[in-house]
Structure formats: C-alpha cells, structure tokens
C-alpha cells in the first residue's frame, strides 16, 4: 500500500507532471540508472514543474482556488496554447 504522500504524487489533479515522472523513472530503469542517458526526460520533467508552478503562482496572486488547476482544466489550458 502506498503512503498518503505517494498517493498524492500519483493523483493527476494534484501532480501535473505524473507522465513526465513516469517517463523519467522508466528511462532510469531501462538504462541501469545512468542519469546522463535520461537527460531529456529530466529536462521535460523540470520544464513541466516550472510551467505549472508559474500557473499556480499566478492563480494564487489572483486569488483563484484551487491554486493548481484540475487535470481537466490543465488539459484545456494546454490545448488553448497549441
């Protein structure tokens, strides 16, 4: 059974970067934990976190709740950006 923290990290409404996390983990597993071979995955994960953190901070400043958009709302945001 996963801890409460681990469960939250797997929740798409809480963690906008579940897919990037999974891809990075898979790359590390597939490449015997040679981090340099997975640099692109780490970068995508970092970019994802940075992007959604900015969105969250904008919403916080504007008083929008919840600060992190739901998975459905994030999908619409990304689609509107092309």
Domain boundaries, the chain: 9-81
pLDDT of 71 reads 92
Q: What is the pLDDT of residues 38-60, one digit of tens each?
A: 999 999 999 999 999 999 999 99
Could you tell me where the beta strands, DSSP code E, fall in the chain?
A: none
pLDDT for res 8: 78
Record the pTM. Answer: 0.84
pLDDT score recorded for residue 9: 79
Burial grade of 80 (CB within 10 A; 0-12, 13-18, 19 or more): exposed
Give me the residues of the chain with pLDDT under 50, please. Answer: none
- pLDDT score for 19: 95
DSSP class of residue 67 equals S
């Amino acid at each position: 059974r996963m801890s409460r923290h681990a469960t939250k990290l797997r929740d798409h409404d809480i963690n906008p970067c579940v897919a990037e996390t999974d891809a990075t983990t898979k790359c590390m597993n597939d490449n015997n934990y040679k981090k340099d071979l997975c640099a692109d995955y780490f970068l995508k994960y970092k970019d994802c976190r940075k992007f959604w953190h900015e969105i969250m901070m904008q919403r916080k400043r504007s008083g929008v709740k919840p600060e992190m958009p739901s998975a459905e709302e994030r999908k619409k945001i990304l689609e509107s950006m092309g």
